[in-house]
A and B are shown apart, each in its own frame.
Chain A
Amino acid sequence: MKVAFVVQRYGLEISGGAELHCRWVTEHMKKYWDVEVLTTRALDYITWENYYTASDAAVNGVPVRRFPVIKTRNPERFGKVQNIVLKSEHKKEDEILWLEEEGPFSPDLIDYIKRHRDDYDYFIFFSYRYYHSYWGVKAAPHKSILVPTAEHDPVIYLKIFKDLFRKPRGIVYNSAEEKKLINTVSGNENVKGEIAGVGAEVPEDIFSKQFCQKYGIKDDYIIYIGRIDKNKGCAELFDFFSRYKEETGSNIKLVLVGSTVLKIPIHPDIIYLGFLSEEEKFSALNKALLLLMPSFYESLSMVTNEAWAMHKPVLANACCEVLKGQCERSRAGLYYENYREFKEALMLFLGSSRLRSRMGKNGRKYFQDNYTWGTIEKKYLSLLKCLEKE
């Protein structure tokens, strides 16, 4: 079976988001199918400027076809069009224009799909909101599988996407909440769907003791891993943590891992470690009492899965339906909507090692049942098997 994975960017340089999700799935599925990646030459997701020169390459043994982006994104123009489609009355043409402005505008990629749709059995499109998915699914609807990686943001309510979610043969969702959201927005219950998500692998070498010695961390700590950004709920987290420390006098520390676009407040108990290697990241996670996940919008939190893989409970933002749902299903995390709930939940966690250990075990089980690569691979295989039978 020949399967093409279609994504906006592809390469070892890209270390997160739907692109990494796509690469991991592709690399794991290559043992079952004859896989190929169709993508653009872009590396920068803001401008989509052509970066890769070669049109054909191989990344970790996967053949990759790259198509040029013929129009880079102009953030100012894009902002204006986005304002029109999100805040005022508009036509479908405006939304199509918005899609073009968002990019990556690569008509050659769509032409290729049109011309070669008979050469492939299936096209798996990643990220619903970009140019390649909308026009790609339209080019070969009967062979299309969409992995939307959708979050509950205003863009999902655009009319063009209602149409898009009804078009493909199958949809691979990241979570039950994402499926519910897309079903509600588009009424696409008749499209075959599978909830899969993405797997995680825990490195073999974890040196928590050495990690603490290296960074001089002696006390117990809770951890946040990810981009330190206001959009990820970090500003609110800093505020809540400082208030918690003031009110309770607890000696807990907050360790932050990841690159930052936010000024981190001066606080003796907030320790910023910056970007860490995978081994160090897992070592840090292993020594933490719990993982904090303050993000408002997540399609699927990879780091939450990693925490559960490491037997760690999670304290998540309840405003994110996906995280809340995952905490309830896994029985491995609590959530908060405001400071008082944050305080009570954190106090409960820090005061009960038994609860942490129990929830850690539940998390590990949830991870093993749902997010090991074996399980994810089976879900993709079963979806395609189902489609073959139809």
Chain B
Amino acid sequence: MTDIKIDYDNIDVTDIMKQIQAKAASPPKKPPPPKKTESTSKPALQIPEPEQVPMVLPKWRRILLKLMKPFSPLIKLLILPVHHDLMQTVYNLYHVNKRLDYFNTKMEQSLTKLSGELYSTSERLDLKIDRFNERYDQISLRLEDLDKTMEYVKTLHSLCHNIVVELTKLKIEEERTKVKIRIMEKDFEFLSRKEQVLEKKAFK
């Protein structure tokens, strides 16, 4: 139960007290602090940015590109299959639309189902809240009773305390009176003996 070592055959109060004082002086146990992650303890690794190597074109190519620049949109139009792409996109969009319609219908169905469940749950919850409120009222009433009882207990305690104090005073008074009676009895004995002696002397 305790980590204080005691030699029961030869009790050493000073030694026990040293152990108690050391135990009392030690700070209360605290929960261990949270472990720090390595990422916070070490500096974050920086990813090196790729080196940007300037692209150097041959001179003849640069001149050719400059010359062809005004015709570039036409060249692009002729080279790329724009119409085919457009048709493909329209087709894709049509399919996407159809899938969206399907999901919409499904979502509506799920929502209807969910709202039904939610309604029944809320009804059950309402019932529970009603019951809880009833119990809360009952508890409040009981707590009020308990408060009253506690007040009674407090009053009773102070009454008991006062009674004990009064009884103590009475007991002390009783002891004193007893002592006084004893002293008076002794005085009386002494006086009667004195009286007898005086009587004897007087009648002699």
Chain A interface (Cβ within 8 Å of chain B)? 11-13, 15, 57-58, 259-260, 264, 266, 272-275, 277, 327-328, 331, 333-335, 338, 340-341, 343-345, 347-348, 351-352, 354-355, 358-359, 362
Contacts and interface: CB of A to CB of B under 8 A. Distances in A.
Interface size class of B (residues with CB under 8 A): 20 to 34
Interface in B35-76: none
Given A12-B183, A13-B179, A328-B13, A341 B20 contact: yes
Nearest to B13: A328
Interface stretch (B79-87, B98-106, B166-174): B166-174
A284 to B, nearest CB: 14
A334 B186 contact: no
Interface in B146-189: 154, 157-158, 161, 164-165, 167-169, 171-172, 175-176, 179-180, 182-183, 186
A316 to B, nearest CB: 11
18 contacts: A11-B179, A12-B182, A12-B183, A15-B175, A260-B165, A260-B168, A266-B158, A275-B168, A275-B171, A327-B13, A328-B13, A331-B11, A331-B12, A333-B13, A334-B13, A352-B2, A354-B8, A358-B8
Nearest to B1: A351
Nearest to B11: A331
A12 B176 CA distance: 8
Nearest to A52: B183
Given A266-B154, A334-B20, 20 more contacts: A12-B179, A12-B182, A58-B186, A259-B165, A259-B172, A260-B165, A266-B158, A274-B164, A274-B167, A275-B168, A275-B172, A327-B13, A338-B24, A341-B20, A344-B20, A348-B2, A348-B20, A352-B6, A358-B8, A362-B11
B16 interface: yes
Contacts of A259: 165, 168-169, 172
A58 B24 CA distance: 55
A340 B182 CA distance: 50
Interface of B: 1-2, 4, 6, 8, 11-14, 16-17, 20-21, 23-25, 154, 157-158, 161, 164-165, 167-169, 171-172, 175-176, 179-180, 182-183, 186
B15 to A, nearest CB: 10
B164 to A, nearest CB: 4
Contact of A273 (B4, B164, B169, B180): B164
Tell me which of A15, A260, A274, A340 has the highest count of chain B C-beta atoms within 10 A of its own C-beta. A274
Contact of A348 (B4, B172, B176, B183): B4
A335 B24 CA distance: 13
Given A12-B179, A264-B161, A334 B168 contact: no
Contacts of B161: 264, 272
A328 B12 CA distance: 8
The 7 closest A-B pairs by CB, nearest first: A340-B24, A274-B168, A275-B168, A274-B164, A12-B179, A344-B20, A341-B24
A335 B14 CA distance: 10
A347 B168 contact: no
A358 B11 contact: yes
Contacts of B168: 259-260, 274-275
B24 A344 contact: yes
A343 B179 contact: no
Contacts of A355: 6, 8, 11
Nearest to B167: A274
Contact of A272 (B1, B164, B169): B164
